[in-house]
Structure 1
Amino acid sequence: MAEIVIKNVAKSFGSFKALHSIDLTISDQEFMVLLGASGCGKTTLLRIVAGLETPTQGEVWIGGRRVDHLPPRERGIAMVFQNYAVFPHLTVFENIAFGLRMKKLPQAEIDGRVTRTAELMHIEQLLKRYSGQLSGGQRQRVAVARALAMEPDVILMDEPLSNLDALLRLEMRAELKGVLAASKTTTIYVTHDQVEAMSLADRISVMNQGRIVQAATPVEVYRNPAARFVGSFIGNPPMNFIPATREGEGRWNVAGITVEGPDAGRERLDFAIRPEDVDIAPGGLKATARVVEPLGAHTLVTTEVNGAMFRAVLDSDIRVSPGDELSLVPKPDRVRWFDPETTAAV
């Protein structure tokens, strides 16, 4: 069992508080992604789990054992870095075997582990090459193989695909997900790329300013954001937000149309809808097309609604030109509401 429990963890660097009382439980064999913009604290949290940073307060438990007082080598973890950290003067075999030799394992076991992980990462034909002769994607496979060869309880990954081009990232995402599922290893993966997070994660922890704003499945984070920040960060393009005023019990005025919503005991809320969750039909939001971007199967139309920007993703068969007047009807079951003061979902 390699359940990870992070209890009330905080971290300060002088007067700057990088993490604020983080509580998070990651189940055995779960793939958890820490997602957020640069500076949100996700890498700091990963480094605390790894033992590369000491928390100012709180505890870290791995597999039922408290580890925040232990050095990295005693935590049962392996780490894959953004810059690969492979040794150019060693062959692929020796790179993968490096940690195993440090543990003084028998040569037969080293040979077996290196061969198995190389086959798993499809680099068995590269074992005799020096890593300096490899492409970026091949070096990343070596770094993952080296981590897997250690047979750790936990693998920690810090933006491991960010240096690869778009097509290679797509290939490596699919490969990583399959390999780590097969290895049954608990994984924490740090990224600022929401596509990576959505495609890889069992659960996503969305972070902002040193706090976890929401920890949930990709579908839940996308469809039911717990705060306005999550709705604006997840999704490309992000959610649209329009101020709404109360018309009566369960009825709200949104840019001139009446929309059914919560009876929240407030006079104002923020109405939110994703760009793909609107249809062109009579009686909707009055919008003026400003920018039209064909995207193949879909067309992204940036409009103006009540003086504010509003994006709509429409079927490419719908012809729209800049200056066109549109009526955009939100799908009722996809509307979300947020408190404008707390920014929390209502």
Structure 2
Amino acid sequence: MAVIEIKNVAKRFGEYQALHDINLTIADQEFMVLLGASGCGKSTLLRIIAGLETATEGEVWIGGKRIDHLPPKDRGIAMVFQNYAVFPHLTVFENIGFGLRMQKLPNDEVTRRVERTAGLMHIDQLLKRYSGELSGGQRQRVAVARALAMEPDVILMDEPLSNLDALLRMEMRAELKGVLAESNTTAIYVTHDQVEAMSMADRISVMHEGRIVQAASPIDVYRDPAERFVAGFIGNPPMNFLDATPQGAGQFLVAGQSFAGPSANKPLEFAIRPEDMTLSETGLTATAKVVEPLGAHLLVTCEVEGKLFRAVLDSDLRVSMGDTLTLAPMQDRIRWFDPDTQIAVK
């Protein structure tokens, strides 16, 4: 059972606090994605789990055993890096089997594991080729196969697809998720790419300024952001925000329209995703500033009471710059945030 428990982990580099009191439990065989912008602390946390950095405070446990005092080789962990880290002077077979040879495993066991993981990653036909002759996507497959061949309790991946082109990333996302599910390995995957996180994760831990601000399923992170940061970070385009003035009895005035909301008797922020609105005869009055055809949809950037406000509409609609639109939000998709605490208000 490779349950990972991160308990009160903090990390300081001199005066700079990179991580603040991180607590996270990752279930056996779960695919956890650490998602956040550059500098949020996600790679630092991954390196602490791997043993490449030492936590200033806190503990790391795997399978019920504390491992943060152990050297990396004794933690039962394999890691896949952004830059592949394969040896160009070795064949694919030799690259995948490198760690197994270091463990002095018998030749037949090395061959068995190399062939099995190469088959999983669809590179079994490349085993005799030198990795320096391979494409970026093929080298990344070699790096993943090498990690899986170690049969680790945990596999850690630090933005492993970021150097690939868009089409290859899409193919590798689906392939990697399937391979890890088949390998029964607990996985932690670091990325700043929302699409990777949403499409691959069992759960997403959204990080901001060294803290985990929400850890939940992809759909919960998207539909029910716990903090305003999550609402503004997740989604492309992200949520729209407008000021909401209380009118009493759970009613709020937003851009001249009344909406049912929480019972809080204080100003809040009204939030709605761009795709959760339709053109209607009643609703928010918006002026179209930019119209972008995106195939199946139109992305219309509007102005509502002096603020930018985006709507994703059906591409069959005829909308032009300067048009006045009436946008009706779906009532069950409206979210509310406290402007002081930045926390969602139910």
1:151-189 Cα deviation digits (max 9, x unpaired): 000000000000000000000000000000000100000
| In structure 2, distance between residues paired with 1:74 and 1:263 | 53
Indicate yes or no: 2:308 matched with 1:304: no
Partner of 1:3: 3
Partner of 2:273: 274
Indicate yes or no: 2:190 matched with 1:190: yes
Letter of the structure 1 residue corresponding to residue 303 of structure 2:
E
Partner of 1:20: 20
| In structure 2, distance between residues paired with 1:272 and 1:224 | 11
After superposition, residues 57-206 of structure 1 pair within 5 angstroms as 57-206=57-206
| In structure 1, distance between residues paired with 2:22 and 2:243 | 32
Give every structure 1 segment of 4 or more consecutive aligned residues whose post-TM-superposition deviation is greater than 4 Å: none
2:248·2:265 contact (CA, 8 Å) conserved in 1? no
| In structure 1, distance between residues paired with 2:147 and 2:221 | 29
Partner of 2:337: 338
Deviation at 1:283, TM superposition (A): 1.4
Partner of 1:253: 253
| In structure 2, distance between residues paired with 1:155 and 1:204 | 16
Partner of 1:237: 237
| In structure 2, distance between residues paired with 1:8 and 1:248 | 41
State the secondary structure of the residue aligned to 2:142.
helix
Partner of 1:294: 293
Deviation at 1:78, TM superposition (A): 0.2
> Which ranges of structure 1 fall in alignment gaps of 5 or more residues?
none
Deviation at 1:282, TM superposition (A): 1.2
Letter of the structure 2 residue corresponding to residue 273 of structure 1:
I
Share of identical aligned residues, percent?
Answer: 76
| In structure 2, distance between residues paired with 1:141 and 1:182 | 16
Deviation at 1:265, TM superposition (A): 3.0
1:299-344 Cα deviation digits (max 9, x unpaired): 1000000010000000111110000000001000000000000100
1:209-239 Cα deviation digits (max 9, x unpaired): 0000000000000000000000011000000
Indicate yes or no: 2:326 matched with 1:327: yes
Q: CA RMSD in A?
A: 0.4
Partner of 2:56: 56
1:263-316 Cα deviation digits (max 9, x unpaired): 1132x0000000000010011100000000000001100000001000000011
1:18-69 Cα deviation digits (max 9, x unpaired): 0000000000000000000000000000000000000000000001110000
What is the TM-score of this pair, normalised by structure 1?
0.99
| In structure 2, distance between residues paired with 1:253 and 1:127 | 65
2:256·2:284 contact (CA, 8 Å) conserved in 1? yes
Letter of the structure 2 residue corresponding to residue 299 of structure 1:
L
| In structure 2, distance between residues paired with 1:196 and 1:322 | 33
| In structure 2, distance between residues paired with 1:249 and 1:51 | 54
> Which ranges of structure 2 fall in alignment gaps of 5 or more residues?
none
1:83-123 Cα deviation digits (max 9, x unpaired): 00000000000000000000000000000000000000000
| In structure 1, distance between residues paired with 2:9 and 2:318 | 52
Deviation at 1:247, TM superposition (A): 1.1
| In structure 2, distance between residues paired with 1:89 and 1:14 | 39
Letter of the structure 1 residue corresponding to residue 305 of structure 2:
N
Letter of the structure 1 residue corresponding to residue 331 of structure 2:
P
State the secondary structure of the residue aligned to 1:95.
helix
2:246·2:265 contact (CA, 8 Å) conserved in 1? no
| In structure 1, distance between residues paired with 2:265 and 2:306 | 27
State the secondary structure of the residue aligned to 1:279.
strand
Letter of the structure 1 residue corresponding to residue 338 of structure 2:
D
